[in-house]
Each structure stands twice: as C-alpha cells, then as structure tokens.
Amino acid sequence: GQQVMQIPQYQHVQEGEDFTTYCNSSTTLSNIQWYKQRPGGHPVFLIQLVKSGEVKKQKRLTFQFGEAKKNSSLHITATQTTDVGTYFCAVKTQGGSEKLVFGKGTKLTVNP
Amino acid sequence: GAVVSQHPSWVICKSGTSVKIECRSLDFQATTMFWYRQFPKQSLMLMATSNEGSKATYEQGVEKDKFLINHASLTLSTLTVTSAHPEDSSFYICSALRGLSGSPLHFGNGTRLTVT
C-alpha cells in the first residue's frame, strides 16, 4: 500500500529558531495533507496540497509540494512554544480509496 | 468547523470485558468514518473504514471479530473492543469524512483504553 516516509522523528529547537519536517513518497501522490497533534490531543487538519510545486502559507507556516508530487515539507519560521506538538503528513492510498495513511510524524519541542 | 464527538474520553476495564466507543458527527452527515489506533509516541494506524449501512472494511492484520464496528446511521459509528486484553490498551481515534473526495478528516478527541 501507499507509504510515506517522514523525517526527522524528533526535533528540539530554541524558541525563535526555524523548523522543517519532510515527507517523501516513492510514488506520485494525488495530494498530501498535513495535521498537527498537540500532546494529549487529537490530530487537527492544517492544509491540503494538490498541485505540483504548490506553496501555501499560514502565518509562520509554509507548506510545499514538490514538482514531481513525491515530496512535501512543512516549515515553521521563528517557532513559538505554541508550536509544540507532532506534525503528520498524510496521503491517500492508491486505488481511489478515501483512506488516509499517516507518516510517522515529527515531534517538535520548543525550549522557551 | 465540523465537530466530531467521541465518547468516552477514557475507560479502564478488566481483562475479558467488552468496551464500546462511540463516534458522532455533530453537525454533518458522515457516510464514511475511519477508526485509528495510536500507541504512545507512534503514528496513527488505520484499523478500519466504517461505511454507513454496510459492513466495515478492515485493514490487514486487524481482527474483525475482535474490533466490531457498526455504522448504524449517518452520524454515528461505534467500535466495540470485545474480550479486551492488556495488549488492547491504546488510544483509539475516530475520524469522519465530510464532503467530497479529498476533503480533510475531522477527528474525535480519542479514547484512551486501559485494560487491567
């Protein structure tokens, strides 16, 4: 089935530093979604990327979809303590199913 | 935004008993819901797809007789962990698909199950 590799698994930064997490697939993706899960909470949808080379911004968050639609990244500029959590990318399985397969996630901790 | 309610938030049960978890879409109809399981510090693992009015579709390795799923209406899906054992202890999260294909998932708050 469809799999996506996500790195790094953990990232610890000082408040104000930047943060990036990456997702890679061996096959072309139709789209990719990003979710954030706060400690003890449930995943919350952040964004969906569909087009090749697409770049979307949400305040300090920048999401990119690769030209070949095989990789994606989430970049946070000047992290804040509120950014703490685990960031997951998720992709639909092949065959037209609506099932989402999640990457392993990147756990971000921010030192104030 | 769309709200998905999951109940209970946490439950402790004895080994051998069954536990039912409810997942409700509060402000939209969800023909499709998904049940995930999450172990500590790990990602979400899809267990099954719950389809309103039909049998659930289970992922490989998930015992359908162990994890009973019923999607009786467009707003309610239930997951029953039958004859629970300590290894079933985990965080179970439901999600609902609202809208057209490719729409994001809306997650419930999750249920932390502890089997003693």
B3 inside 8 A of chain A by CB: no
Q: pLDDT for A51-87, tens place per residue?
A: 999 999 999 999 999 999 999 999 999 999 999 999 9
Copy the structure tokens of residue A104: 């392993």
Per-residue pLDDT of chain B (116 residues; tens, 9 = 90+): 668 999 999 999 999 999 999 999 998 888 889 999 999 888 999 999 988 888 899 999 999 999 999 988 889 999 999 999 999 999 999 999 877 666 788 999 999 999 99
Dist CA A60 CA A52 (whole Å):
22
**DSSP-assigned beta bridge partners for residue B6:** B23
Q: Cis before residue B104, ω within 30 degrees of 0?
A: no
Instruction: Strands of B26-89 (E only): list them.
Output: 32-38, 44-51, 57-58, 67-73, 76-81
Kindly report the CA angle at B46 between B110 and B49, in degrees rounded to 5?
Answer: 95
Q: Measure in Å the smallest separation between the Cα of B39 and chain A Cα atoms.
A: 11
Dist CA A21 CA A6 (whole Å):
7
CA nearest A47: which of B93, B103, B96?
A: B103
Burial grade of A4 (CB within 10 A; 0-12, 13-18, 19 or more): buried
The H or E element that residue A107 is part of is strand A106-111
B102 inside 8 A of chain A by CB: yes
Q: Measure in Å the smallest separation between the Cα of A102 and chain B Cα atoms.
A: 6
**Which amino acid, B106?**
H
Q: Which chain A residue has the Cα nearest residue B57?
A: A99
For residue B109, give the nearest of A42, A98, A101 by CB distance: A42
Largest CA distance in chain B: 41
pLDDT confidence of residue A2? 61
Q: Is A59 helix (H, G, I), strand (E, B) or coil?
A: coil
Task: Say if residues A48 and A88 touch (Cβ distance below 8 Å).
Answer: no
Q: Measure in Å the smallest separation between the Cα of A16 and chain B Cα atoms.
A: 25
Copy the structure tokens of residue A95: 């065959």
In terms of pLDDT, which residue wins out, B30 or A20? A20
